[in-house]
Amino acid sequence: MTVKLSISVPDDVAAYLQSSGNASATVTEAVRRVLPDARRHRRRAAARAFGEFVRSRTPEQAAADRDLIESSNDIALRDAAW
């Protein structure tokens, strides 16, 4: 699927895109090079937030979480043949 967009760019960028022959492919390639960095940044931020959350848990809350996980695993693995 493709979407047609209209954007404004500086003159030097416009000149480069016009000379490239296929501006859509050029822009797509450039943006795809940036996407992994943005994804990596979001994942790091999420991991940092989760780490802060886990560190803020009391020992009682952590024990309750472990009990819930173990119970869930027991339910999920019921009748499973290993």
C-beta of residue 29 within 8 angstroms of C-beta of residue 22: no
Q: How many residues does the chain have?
A: 82
The helix or strand, by DSSP H or E, that contains position 11, with its residue range, turns out to be: helix 11-20
User: Domain residues of the chain, as ranges?
Assistant: 23-76
Which parts of the chain have pLDDT scores under 70?
Answer: 79-82
Say what the pLDDT of residue 76 is: 85
Q: Smallest Cα–Cα separation from 25: which of 8, 2, 48? A: 2
Say what the pLDDT of residue 74 is: 85
Say what the pLDDT of residue 77 is: 84
pLDDT tens digits, one per residue of 1-19 = 888 989 999 999 999 999 9
Say what the pLDDT of residue 80 is: 63
Between CA 31 and CA 76, with CA 43 as vertex, the angle to 5 degrees is 125
